Amino acid sequence: MNKTKIEWTDYTWNPVTGCKRGCPYCYAGRIHNRFNPDIPFNKIVSWDERLEQPLKIKKPSRIFVGSMSDIEYWSKAQMENVLDIICQCPQHIFMFLTKNGRIYCRYIFPKNCWLGITSVNGRYCFKIHRTNEKNVIFLSLEPLLMGLTGYWLNSFVKWLIIGGLTPKPVHKREWVERILKEADRLHIPVFMKSNLKWVGKLRQEYPNYEENYGNKPR
């Protein structure tokens, strides 16, 4: 488990790596190919020696689960092993991200799991809310590749991350401004990543977890 430069979390934890989606802008694939060139990134690999790493971190922390993978492609056994460790670490916040929000409906997640959906076009699975009401549901618009119009955001989303394409962002300022306006309409906190190259103050907010879910994140 590693300390990370990802601004909205403290650690990354990768007991499983690999993704079959093949997104052309995937940063995880580039990192994987640099350090593990002999293992294809589209191969889903378990790293059992990493499984118990969160147990060694005593200070309450935010932990991004699977930054080098997408849980959509994990086996049931891989997910259950991870959830078993999470249940032993109630002091931490475990943050998941996937492009397929339907995967969250297959498992029971402890309340210290934040369930995120990555979307580049504002589309996401509404069914996630009905099966995971006790969890923080969040949306990551990274990389932001298009402007979003209409009422695409729902109030069950409790947190919004906005990030640009690296190394060369393609978004327009007005795209971000419209997203901020829509988030403010629904009182949703926003975390703006530095790769937006934003001129002005970056909003880097978090949901009031203690008030709404009864547990401090850190």
pLDDT in tens, 135-184: 999 999 988 888 887 667 888 899 999 998 877 777 889 999 999 999 99
Question: pLDDT of 84-131, one tens digit each?
Answer: 999 999 999 999 999 998 999 999 999 999 999 998 776 666 656 666
Instruction: Please name the residue that has the structure tokens 């970056």.
Output: 202
Q: What is the pLDDT of residue 124?
A: 67
Could you write out the three-class secondary structure of 183-209? HHHCCCCEEECHHHCCCCCCCECCCCH
Q: State mean pLDDT over 199-213.
A: 76
H or E element at residue 165? none
Tell me how far CA of residue 158 lies from CA of 39, 57, 129, 138, 191, in angstroms: 37, 26, 11, 6, 11
Contact 13, 37 (CB under 8 A): no
| CB contact set of 200 (below 8 Å; sequence gap of 6+) | none
Reading the block at residue 174, the tokens are 């007005």
Dist. CA 87–CA 106, nearest whole Å: 17
Residue pair 85/76 in contact (Cβ under 8 Å)? The answer is no
Q: What global pTM score does this model have?
A: 0.88
Element (H, E) at 140: strand 136-141
At 32 the pLDDT is 82
Structure tokens that stand for 69 in this block: 């993978």
